[in-house]
Amino acid sequence: MKNILNTSEWLLRYNVLMRVLGIDPGIARTGWAVIELQSSKFNVQSYGCIETSSKKEAPQRLVEIYEEVLKIIKKYSPAEMAIEELFFNTNSKTAFIVGQARGVIILAAAQKKLPIFTYTPLQVKLSVSGYGKADKAQVGKMVKAILNLKQIPKLDDTCDAIAIGLTHLFSRRINKKAK
């Protein structure tokens, strides 16, 4: 019986370019980043932020996020998507609407048959900075250093999306070496 590899396994096994879409979900701002790995070189292909107006109703904002994520997937053809797990703070209303945004993002990726991976904020901070309680500035500095960027991305949402993408690629490299 032949062992059939899926796209991501094939990319990793044969050291071909691996492209991942990192997402930091939100209703007002959803950060996204397309990160590539080939051999041991990381490269940020593109990044940005999907912004929705608070003047619009939640369903309209969710449709905007969904449609923009589909456009990003179509344009950059990532092999996998990494998204941050929801962090529940004291504001349950915010957590609820962010969960809805996260849901439409996951739906978009699932419809395009992308494998979806989730990471907690702690995992992302630990992976990128080596410290699970790193602040936004520390994570930003490490993102800049790892990718050799000229400056830290201006919006925290985009910087977080880059960090989420990097976390996934670090995780995939470790899992590949363990096999």
What amino acid positions are annotated as catalytic residues?
24, 84, 157
Burial readout 61-78 (b: 16 or more C-beta within 10 A, e: otherwise):
bbebbbebbbebbeebeb
Locate 107 and state its tokens. Answer: 């739906």
Largest CA distance in the chain: 57
Distance CA 49, CA 30 (A): 5
Distance CA 154, CA 99 (A): 24
**38 - beta bridge partners?**
41
